[in-house]
Amino acid sequence: MSFQVALQLTIALLSVATLVRALEDWLTRAEYGTGGVMSAEVTALQRAWGRSLLSRLLFHITSSHKLLNLCMLMRIALPISLLLALSLRQSSGLTVGLLAANLLFAVFFLLRCGYGADGADQMLIVVNCGALLATSSNIIVHRTGVWFITLQLILSFFVAGLAKLFGREWRSGVAMAGILTTARYSSSPWLGAMLVRRPVISQALCWAVISVETLFPVVLLGIPTLTVATLIGGLLFHVSVAFTMGLNNFMYTFAAAYPISVYALL
């Protein structure tokens, strides 16, 4: 895969991921206002504010509901602009500007959000930042951007696998049945009930997840067939998590890391 194709695919997937997340946030924006479970007025109190002008300004930026609404609207407008810029083959300068603005609003939203944020928000920032650097004409900066995304993707799998290996519930096989019997993380109560009835299947699934995640760094060995198989396995893992657990944002944001990683690793 050429770099240009990989970069354009990553930016397109990043735009879709940002857009979906932003539209979901916009629909539930009441939760960020007064009386919401992520109320700006309350979360702004997480740190002690001074009386200096800078402190007052930062407090206003952190607690302002209007600014947050503006941020959400920008997080809708910017990915649409990025997709348009890609489809109309606009100058790379415009794409870089849009990526930088997108990164700024994504960081602001994560720092402002606090409660309710997850790994998908963090991956969104990782991919955005890496893609921005990858557009650089400076070869060192370009390579840093490409490998930043790739190594974070590898690290995400390896760390998750290793943490599961140290978890008693994961080794014994009860973890999958436990997760899939919750309402929040199970799209199908039938699946959870089946795993409770058949602990052998739950244990097999737990060990399959541990194996796929801990062995993911084999993509660094430079064996093309193994790398392709592992990357496909990783992508399918995100898709299956979206369908079984409803973690749709993880599918969108992590998928955006793959084109650049394919370029780096193959």
Partner 1 sequence: MSTVLSGVAVVVMILWLIATALANTPVGDRILTSVIGTRRIRALVPTWSFFAPRPVSYDVTLLYRERLADGECSPWREAIPFPRRHPIIRAFWNPGARAFKAVSDASNVLILSARAAPQPVSPRSLMLSIPYLLLLAKTSSLKIGVGVVSRQFALVRHSHRDARIAVTFVSGFHDVSTSVTDGERMSRCPSRLPSS
Instruction: Return the residues of window 45-74 that contact partner 1 according to CB under 8 A.
Output: 45-47
On whether the CB atoms of residues 249 and 22 are closer than 8 A, the answer is no
Instruction: Give the nearest distance from C-beta 175 to partner 1 in angstroms.
Output: 4
Applying CB under 8 A, the site for partner 1 has a residue count of: 82
Q: Which is nearer to partner 1, 115 or 223 (CB)?
A: 115
Q: Binding of partner 1 at residue 111 (CB under 8 A)?
A: yes
User: What is the Cα 238 distance to its own chain's centre?
Assistant: 11
Q: Binding of partner 1 at residue 41 (CB under 8 A)?
A: yes
Q: Binding of partner 1 at residue 31 (CB under 8 A)?
A: yes
CA–CA–CA angle 247, 17, 62 (5° rounding) = 90
Give Cβ neighbours of residue 105 (< 8 Å, ≥ 6 apart). 71, 74, 75, 78
- Residues found in the chain: 266
Q: Binding of partner 1 at residue 194 (CB under 8 A)?
A: no
Instruction: Give the nearest distance from C-beta 105 to partner 1 in angstroms.
Output: 14
**Secondary structure (DSSP) of 234-261:** HHHHHHHHHHHH--HHHHHHHHHHHHHH
Instruction: Give the nearest distance from C-beta 49 to partner 1 in angstroms.
Output: 12
On whether the CB atoms of residues 89 and 119 are closer than 8 A, the answer is no
Instruction: Give the nearest distance from C-beta 41 to partner 1 in angstroms.
Output: 7
Q: Per-residue string for binding with partner 1, 70-109, x by CB under 8 A? A: -------------------------------------x--
Of these, 4, 5, 34, 60, which contacts partner 1 (CB under 8 A)? 34
Q: Binding of partner 1 at residue 27 (CB under 8 A)?
A: yes
Q: Binding of partner 1 at residue 255 (CB under 8 A)?
A: no
Give the interface segment with partner 1, choosing from 34-42, 71-79, 94-102, 216-224 (CB under 8 A). Answer: 34-42
DSSP 185: T
Q: Which is nearer to partner 1, 8 or 152 (CB)?
A: 152
- What is the spatial distance between Cα 54 and Cα 45, in angstroms, rounded to a whole number? 16
Tell the burial category of 220 from Cβ atoms under 10 Å away from its Cβ (0-12, 13-18, 19+).
middle
Tell the burial category of 33 from Cβ atoms under 10 Å away from its Cβ (0-12, 13-18, 19+).
middle
On whether the CB atoms of residues 209 and 164 are closer than 8 A, the answer is yes
Give the interface segment with partner 1, choosing from 2-10, 19-27, 79-87, 224-232 (CB under 8 A). Answer: 19-27
Residue 138, amino acid? N
Site residues for partner 1, 156-175, by CB under 8 A, read: 156-157, 159-160, 163-164, 166-170, 174-175
